[in-house]
Each structure stands twice: as structure tokens, then as C-alpha cells.
Amino acid sequence: MIVCDPSQNKVHYEGWVPHSLHYRNDDQRLTREAMERYLRDRSDMVIVILHAKVAQKSYGNEKRFFCPPPCIYLYGEGWRLRQEQLLREGESEQAAQLCAFIGIGNSDQDMQQLDLNNGKQYC
């Protein structure tokens, strides 16, 4: 979880943090120049995760629960721009590809990689 402390202009992380966020320094501050660059370039990387409630189906005394998988939507130019930046910096096509993992239960359980090789362009 990302926790913002406006009183100290700091951001710190609690619990499990994706590896891609480890580059941040706890003492990194948001500067005026960085905010101006963000407002000018707007390279947002937004993730929207929608999940349905569990449905119950009963067959006599037997109860079954169905939980459809979540829908994940990516918005913003930042996804494509980040991929282009990685390719410019010499990363391979495979290393620059978007990958996602999903898990159920506790954070200490295995994560499963989602199959994004279905012919769709995600970035």
C-alpha cells in the first residue's frame, strides 16, 4: 500500500510492494518542476480493476459459489510511452512487454501470470 504523508511531503510503502516501485526513495520529494512536467506531459498510467460479487447457486442441500475473474482496464498514454522508452533504452521487445500477475488469498501465496498474448495490443 502506498501511504502519503502530506505533513512531511513523503511517500512510503507498507506491506507488499511491486518490484517496479522499489526504485523510489522514501526521501524523494515532489518538486515544482516535476509537477509542471506532469501537468504538461500527462503520461498517466491508470489501472482500473472491477470485480463482481460472488454468486451463490444452490442444488438441493449443495451450495456452490461462483466468482468471475476481475476485469482489468489500463488507461493513459503512459503505458505506451513507457514501452517506447524501454525500447529506446535498448531493452528487448520481450522485456518491454506488459506483464501482469494475479493472486488470491494471502500475499504469501503464489502469484499467477496473466496471459496477455491473445493478439490484443495493450500498450
pLDDT of residue 13: 46
Q: In this predicted model, what pLDDT tens digit does every residue of 62-90 receive, in sequence order?
A: 888 887 878 888 888 888 888 899 999 99
In the numeric block, the cell 444452490 is attached to 58
Percent of the chain's residues with pLDDT above 90: 3
pLDDT of residue 4: 43
Question: What is the separation of C-alpha 63 from the centre of its chain, rounded to a whole number of angstroms?
Answer: 34
Domain architecture of the chain: domains with CATH:
44-113 (2.60.40.1450)
Give the CA radius of gyration of the chain: 19
Amino acid at 96: A
Under 8 Å CB-to-CB from 60, ≥6 apart: which residues? Answer: none
Amino acid at 80: R
Q: Which residues pair with 72 in a beta bridge?
A: 49
